[in-house]
Structure 1
Amino acid sequence: MEHTQPPDGSTDLGGKSRTGADSGRLVGSDRVLAVLKELARYPDGAGLEELTRVIGSPKPTVHRALGALRRAGLADRDEHGRYVLGDEFLRMAFAHHEARPEHVRLHPILETLAVRFGETAHYAVLDGREIVYRAKVDPPTGAFRLSSTVGGRNPAHATGVGKLLLAYALGSVEEVREWIGATELERRTARTRCDAAALYADLRAARARGYAFDDQENETGVNCLALPVYATSPTVPSGAVSVSALACRTSLAALTDALDEIRALLGPLGEPHR
């Protein structure tokens, strides 16, 4: 239900083209890292031809990069000859993820929220024009689950967590216009705020009330309520906790009615310290 960046070869994590001339100019370690980043988009593995086409570099170049990654344990080949992330990469990634203090401290809260609402709970941070999910807890077995994943991304302007964090980063409509820049914001649904003035009005309201929501702005049929988390700074949110729910099952009004309960669960992590 909730979208994350697909392996469509369109943009890299910084919004630049992953194909064509730009990636063709990659040299040395940059080329190896580009192959590693692309490989991470294919959990079921990718063939050499496929990676060569998407990355836009010569096949021998991509093959050498894959060889270097395999020697380091960062890539491997499955029984079908497709390249996958290696065990060493996964070991490092999970060790780093589990060591994140905010993840460790917030996971019990996310579990409680998922059980309480029967919906998906997230912890996400802002990264440029996108939010990145750092932690996720699905509802109990048998309930419908969203397809969001830890490490997955969504447009900041279309999500409750994104708008909440943007509210603390962008203080005026001029700053919102500068943040948008020359590239139009993606309209995920008919309700997505893509205009600078409309988006700023949402951000200003979110900061004033201390929470944000998206009312089916990222995906039709899914709404979200988000609250700030002060895990690493006493005054600036490090990220946001959200409950993402099917609108037909848990209304936005039901989520906002439980604000005090959610804030109580967050405790000191949900309050700025001045």
Structure 2
Amino acid sequence: MADAGGVVGLSQLATMAQMPLPTIHRIVRTLVDLGYVRQEANREYSLGPKLIRLGDVTSQMVGRWARPQLEEVVRRLGESANVAQLDGDRVVYIGQVMPSHNSMRMFTEVGRAVLPHATGVGKAIMATMTADEVDALLDRTGMPSRTEHTITDRDAFHAELDATRERGYALDEQEQELGVRCVAVSVPAPGRRLALSVSGPLTRMTDAVVSEALAPLHEAAERIAHQL
């Protein structure tokens, strides 16, 4: 149902699941009774409100599973490491480890939800999406400017995603918050729109630090993908 956009008819669902229609109908009715699916007025079915609680718990668990990997990144780099997921049309930070010396409060705090176009993790995730999926998301959210550095032009943003795919990582060049720079990579787990990032003050996040962060980030992303 999620793959179909959250709303689907029984016949389409039976085809997608490769199961007999009566079996699908019985399963869906059970899920409706439990609150995980709801029946729409047009007799199609949509994802139900009880899934919100499951999604929240799952996000917390992913953040917990990722913590040892984030701790290793912080140990090697000495800068904050984050894990975030695309939840609907926003990127939500679900895990973070900060070095003991870090007293700088940044937007990358656990539970914070931001629009993806202005973040490294958002770009890393969107670079794994098709152009049509990216455009559909931007149609819904727009591209508001967070700082003077935020990319607000659709063509320029697609070019940035192309560059992200080519080099294998995304950058946030003070686009979400002035004085903060991030480097991010996606977690290569099919069906999971997750990304890891290292973030810090612009004065410390030099090009050399960004280059140094790539191997630890990719290694952590691979380990998390394996866990998932």
TM-score, with structure 2 as normaliser: 0.65
| SS in structure 2 of the partner of residue 218 of structure 1 | coil
Q: Which digits, 9 at most, give the CA deviation of each residue in 1:147-167, with x for residues without a partner?
A: 533211122000000011111
Are 2:182 and 1:204 aligned? Answer: no
Structure-2 residue corresponding to 1:227: 185
Deviation at 1:244, TM superposition (A): 0.9
Aligned counterparts of 2:136 and 2:221: Cα–Cα separation in 1: 33
Runs of 4+ in 1 over 6 A off after TM superposition: none
| SS in structure 2 of the partner of residue 187 of structure 1 | coil
Against the structure 1 CA distance between its residues 99 and 188, is the aligned structure 2 distance closer, same or farther, given a 3 Å change threshold?
closer
Structure-2 residue corresponding to 1:112: 72
Structure 1 residue ranges without an equivalent (≥5): 1-91
Are 2:115 and 1:160 aligned? Answer: no
- Counterpart residue type for residue 244 of structure 1: S
CA contact (8 A) 2:93 2:109 kept: yes
Q: Give the number of aligned pairs.
A: 174
1:96 to 42, 47, 57: 57
Structure-2 residue corresponding to 1:121: 81
Aligned counterparts of 2:220 and 2:108: Cα–Cα separation in 1: 23
TM-score, with structure 1 as normaliser: 0.55
Structure-1 residue corresponding to 2:136: 178
Deviation at 1:253, TM superposition (A): 3.9
Structure 2 residue ranges without an equivalent (≥5): 1-52
Deviation at 1:110, TM superposition (A): 1.1
Against the structure 1 CA distance between its residues 118 and 185, is the aligned structure 2 distance closer, same or farther, given a 3 Å change threshold?
same
- Counterpart residue type for residue 113 of structure 2: R
Are 2:166 and 1:247 aligned? Answer: no
Give me the CA root mean square deviation: 2.9
